[in-house]
Amino acid sequence: MTRTGLAAQVEALRRRVKTLERERTRSRRAEASLRESEARFRALFEHASDLIIAAALDGAIISVNRATEETLQWPREALIGRNIRELITPESFARGEERMRRVLAGEKLPKIFGLEAVRRDGSVVPLEGWARLLRDAGGRPVGHEGVYRDITERRLAEEAVRESEERYRNLVDNASDSIMTFSLEGNITSVNRAYAKLTGWTTDELMGENWQTLVAPVDRERMAERTRRSLAGEKLPSIFEVATLCKDGRVVQLEGRTRTVRTLHGSPVGFQGVYRDISERKRAEEALRESEERYRLMFQEAEDARAVLDRLYRVTSSMQMSWEREDRLRAFEQGVHDALGFDRFYVALVSPDLRTLDVATAVGVEMFESLPLSPAAGPFYHVFQTRRLLAVLFKTPLCQRQRLINFCFRRLIKRWLQFFGLRRINTRKPRRAFAG
């Protein structure tokens, strides 16, 4: 071998050595990277908050992490080699076997599933997780690995929510007030028994109905305007009145209070309303108004009656100023005209034999001398028969006349009291008094 050939071989060997050194460096780096990766994976595996369990196809546990030890309360040495069926409930194991059979058959199943594990003390812990098959180099399944999360807290929270919803549902269903929820379009999404009982509809009939079909026509436009203003952000009085239609055609007055139902981000998604039947209150208010009006009229008429009695007293008082018949007639005539305001009247006297009515004077009407004391005398006879007189002229002593006048006033006051309902009311209409 020549020197040139030897030099070429040496150079080739030198390049080969450098190549091997580079490959060795890369291999060492790869090994270091692999060790670091394995260390990171091991750290993640050990410190994961979820349970990680690997098992062979026959169920023998191959590896577990620290979370599995803490959750199931078994040491790792006691778990390795134990069959997984010993750590879950029989129902969960049966579901797991069925799932494994369907997966090996190539069926696509939801990734997430639930199961219940059994702790060392026998208590059950709910888990939720996913699993995958472990395969060898040839792609044949040799086991499975799963990651599971303890969902005890979530189960408790879900149970608390269910209990809260049940309490709310019972509260709504048993409330005496009507409670409904609506979508933004006004369709009923829920309704309680109180409204169904009030209106005669069933809850199934009401579900999905639009609120406009249940509101009396007179209130529909007003309620639609209220809804528009509420969605526009305007602050409106929280309490309002609305008339609702019943299945039998009745109209019931309700007092309502509504609020807008919003998402967590504040977007409106519907409305909730609470309504109370105020029919009885409306009737009571109307009865109160009628009662107040009756009493107002009663006191007004009582005041008018007092004024009339005062005028009558002035007339009779003026008649007592003289014993002369002509003076008393003149006083009566003047009093009836001035105090009572009569501008057309007769003054008629009954004859001693009770046969005729003799007219003593007439004001504003045609004068005549006498009328027979019979029904033919018309209102004059009625006055005589009923004794509804405004004044009587007697030629009796003053004491007797005063007693009779007092008696007439008592009768007159008694009739006024009966008329205004302060004593037993005479159902017969009082006839118009006639000045005689």
Residue 255 has pLDDT above 60, yes or no: yes
Distance CA 171, CA 175 (A): 6
Q: What per-residue confidence (pLDDT) applies to 64?
A: 92
Distance CA 75, CA 79 (A): 7
Our separate counts of H helices and E strands in the chain read 12, 13
Task: Determine the 3-state secondary structure of 374 from DSSP.
Answer: coil
Asked if residues 247 and 199 have their Cβ atoms less than 8 Å apart, the reply is yes
Residue 60 has pLDDT above 90, yes or no: yes
How would you list the strands of the sheet with 61-64, edge to edge? 61-64, 51-56, 141-150, 124-135, 113-118
Q: Is 206 left (phi over 0), alpha (psi -120 to 50) or beta?
A: alpha
User: Could you give the percent of the chain with pLDDT greater than 90?
Assistant: 33
Residue 150 β-bridge partners: 127
Tell me the per-residue pLDDT of 328-375, one tens digit each, with 9 for 90 and over: 777 777 777 776 667 777 777 777 787 887 777 777 777 666 778 788
Tally of CB atoms within 10 A around 58: 8
Tell me the per-residue pLDDT of 223-232, one tens digit each, with 9 for 90 and over: 999 888 888 8
pTM of the predicted model as reported, rounded to 2 decimal places: 0.47
Buried b (16+ CB within 10 A) or exposed e, 258-290: beeeeeeeeeeebbbbbbbbbeeeeeeeeeeee
Q: How far is CA 106 from CA 100, 103, 431, in A?
A: 10, 5, 107
Task: Name, of 5-9, 118-122, 230-234, the range with top average pLDDT.
Answer: 118-122
Which residue is it, tokens 């526009």? Answer: 232
Q: Please list, in sequence order, all residues whose beta carbon lies within 8 angstroms of the beta carbon of residue 226, skipping any fewer than 6 positions away.
A: 236, 240
The runs of H, that is alpha helices, within 351-435 are 379-386, 398-419
Strand residues in 121-250 grouped as ranges (E): 124-135, 141-150, 178-183, 188-191, 239-245
Nearest to 230 by CA among 189, 181, 271, 266: 271
Domains with residue ranges and CATH for the chain: 14-155 (3.30.450.20), 175-277 (3.30.450.20), 288-419 (3.30.450)
Q: Quick one: tokens of 100?
A: 């494994």
More confident residue, 22 or 309: 22
Q: What per-residue confidence (pLDDT) applies to 189?
A: 92
Buried b (16+ CB within 10 A) or exposed e, 206-227: beebebeebbeeebbeebeebb
* CA 20 distance to own-chain centroid: 86
242 phi and psi angles, rounded to 5 deg: -150, 145
Residue 151 has pLDDT above 90, yes or no: yes
The DSSP code for 84 is G
Residue 26 has pLDDT above 60, yes or no: yes
